[in-house]
Amino acid sequence: MSEGIKLTEDKIKTLGRAITDKADVLFEAYSPESCYGAVNTSSKQYKVLRDSGVISINANSITLGSSFRDILRTVDQKSYRTHTMPDVEDWKQNIHHSIQMAQAASDSFDETHDEMMHLANIRDEANMLSEALGREMANIEYIINSDLNNTPNIKAKRIILESLNKKIKSQIQKTAILGREELYKLHGDYTKAAVILDEYLSDSIVRFNHEMGVHLDKTILLIDKLKKDQNRQNKILWQLHKALRNEQFIPKQMGLELRDIESIGLAFGGIDVSDNFYNIELSDDSYLLATIIGKLASSKPSTKGKEIKIYEGEYVESADRIEQQKPSPEKLWVLKYLSNNNTDDLNKCYSVREYWQTAGLSHVVEYKAFLALVLKVCGSNFKNDHVIKKKDTCYWKLYLKKRWLSDTCDTLYITDAKYVRCHTTSTEPSERELWTPNSLSA
């Protein structure tokens, strides 16, 4: 198409720059409400725009030139086309018109440039139609993947599918006028147009028809399935209703065990969570605290008031407790911690945080949850240090590392704790001794 170039590069670029620089003026001139009057039109760029037919400079205003209005109209149409279903008949007519023009120009020796221009139009039209079909496919896929999936109601799903079904059928009917035979009728033996249509449009139409066919089958299947589901639900409900009325079915006569309920996929819950929350700052981890405390509460021995017995590194539960159930996995974490600290050597004692960091628990439980678990198992009131157990000259004590959240807030913030075995014959460890980081974990 180089035959058509008559303007120099400089002229094209000068026009382009003038349009860019005066974009605000062009917009004002385009807006129906505004009138661009008070402007100095003596600059060179205004002259370029006027000479190119982009604008007309009048006595008191600037208006858009008719050729530039045509360009804007084309832009507007293109924008419209991108947002609406492609009107295939309209596109076909446009292509047909361009083919006729190109063919007419090709017959004339003087109009090579015009033929190229019309062939370029055919290419653009074919391209745009191909893009429009692609967008239509994307739209339909979007409806299937998004609208349908995001609609929980099967009745609404059915409405969406039925409307989609109609839309697809209509599109398939429309593109039928762009079959190979129909396209041949458009270009006949004019091979230049045939090549363009083949390259830019034929594949898109074949792909579009194929995809639409697949989607159509899918929508028909889904509509059918939804209809059957709804019918089945209706029938079951009415049958049960009839059976109830005829006393053929008395619900309370039926007994189902947990395994039956599980086998039919209807078992859920069974999670016993205590409503008791403790005065401990846990921010977003509070659910874990609630969970653990709940589980512990549910597995608490029925022998209320009995103390946890800790002897020589072993956690010994009362006989009746053992008969009832084994400690939960969560409780075992705590028992292992207590067992680890059951030593006279304070240097070998871990704080809860140190133990949590070194015993691999950080991967399975949040720190704050584990801390709360230790406090709960040790029977802490979440406020003060306390002696858990005494035996002879030995006693086991849980120390809390705590601080108030602020001077004005009465929330006690427990940051750590340490389970320590002490002797009545020796002095208690000092704060510094207690909370100096353990050399083993440092």
Partner 1 sequence: MKEHEILRMIMQNKLICPVSEPEAYKWLKDSEDNFNRISNHLEPFGIKLVSMCDGDVYAGLNAVPSESDKKAISKQFHDIYNNIGPIIEMLTCLASADENNNALVMGDKLKQAELVLAANDNKHFESMLNQVSEITGATKKPNDQQVEALLERLRKHDIVILSNSAQKIYRVTGMISYISQIFEYITENLFDDFDEEAIELQQGLGL
Binding site for partner 1 (CB under 8 A): 150-156, 230, 233-245, 248-249, 251-252, 254, 256-258, 261, 264-273, 284-288, 290-292, 294-295, 298-299, 325, 328-330, 364-365
Residue 111: exposed, middle, or buried by beta-carbon count in 10 A (0-12, 13-18, 19+)? middle
* Calpha distance 108→248 (Å, rounded): 91
Q: Tell me the closest approach of the beta carbon of residue 434 to partner 1, in angstroms.
A: 29
Q: Tell me the closest approach of the beta carbon of residue 147 to partner 1, in angstroms.
A: 13
Q: Tell me the closest approach of the beta carbon of residue 402 to partner 1, in angstroms.
A: 23
Tally Cβ neighbours within 10 Å of residue 162: 13
Element (H, E) at 219: helix 203-245
* Calpha distance 2→116 (Å, rounded): 9
Check: CB of residue 286 under 8 Å from CB of residue 368. Answer: no
* Calpha distance 197→127 (Å, rounded): 9
- Pick 269 or 305: Cβ nearer partner 1: 269
Check: CB of residue 249 under 8 Å from CB of residue 240. Answer: yes
Tokens (6 digits) for 153: 């109601």
Give whole-number Cα distances, 416 to 44, 368, 369, in Å: 78, 9, 12
- Pick 172 or 335: Cβ nearer partner 1: 335
Q: Tell me the closest approach of the beta carbon of residue 261 to partner 1, in angstroms.
A: 5
3-class DSSP assignment, residue 36: strand
Tally Cβ neighbours within 10 Å of residue 335: 17
- Pick 38 or 271: Cβ nearer partner 1: 271
- Pick 21 or 224: Cβ nearer partner 1: 224
- Pick 302 or 427: Cβ nearer partner 1: 302
- Pick 189 or 323: Cβ nearer partner 1: 323
Could you give phi then psi for residue 33, rounded to 5 degrees?
-80, -25
Nearest of 402, 404, 435 to residue 418 by alpha carbon: 435
Q: Tell me the closest approach of the beta carbon of residue 363 to partner 1, in angstroms.
A: 9
387 pairs with which residues across the strands?
397
- Pick 214 or 236: Cβ nearer partner 1: 236
- Pick 41 or 274: Cβ nearer partner 1: 274
* Calpha distance 116→184 (Å, rounded): 20
3-class DSSP assignment, residue 363: helix
Element (H, E) at 414: strand 412-423
| Angle, CA 80 vertex, CA 74 and CA 81 arms, to 5° | 90
- Pick 138 or 244: Cβ nearer partner 1: 244
Q: Tell me the closest approach of the beta carbon of residue 257 to partner 1, in angstroms.
A: 7
Check: CB of residue 422 under 8 Å from CB of residue 395. Answer: yes
- Pick 78 or 235: Cβ nearer partner 1: 235
Q: Tell me the closest approach of the beta carbon of residue 327 to partner 1, in angstroms.
A: 11
Q: Tell me the closest approach of the beta carbon of residue 286 to partner 1, in angstroms.
A: 7
Q: Tell me the closest approach of the beta carbon of residue 127 to partner 1, in angstroms.
A: 35
Tally Cβ neighbours within 10 Å of residue 386: 13
| Angle, CA 281 vertex, CA 279 and CA 287 arms, to 5° | 90
Q: Tell me the closest approach of the beta carbon of residue 203 to partner 1, in angstroms.
A: 34
- Pick 66 or 302: Cβ nearer partner 1: 302
Check: CB of residue 37 under 8 Å from CB of residue 57. Answer: no
Q: Tell me the closest approach of the beta carbon of residue 258 to partner 1, in angstroms.
A: 5
Contacts of 113 (CB under 8 A, 6+ apart): 3, 4
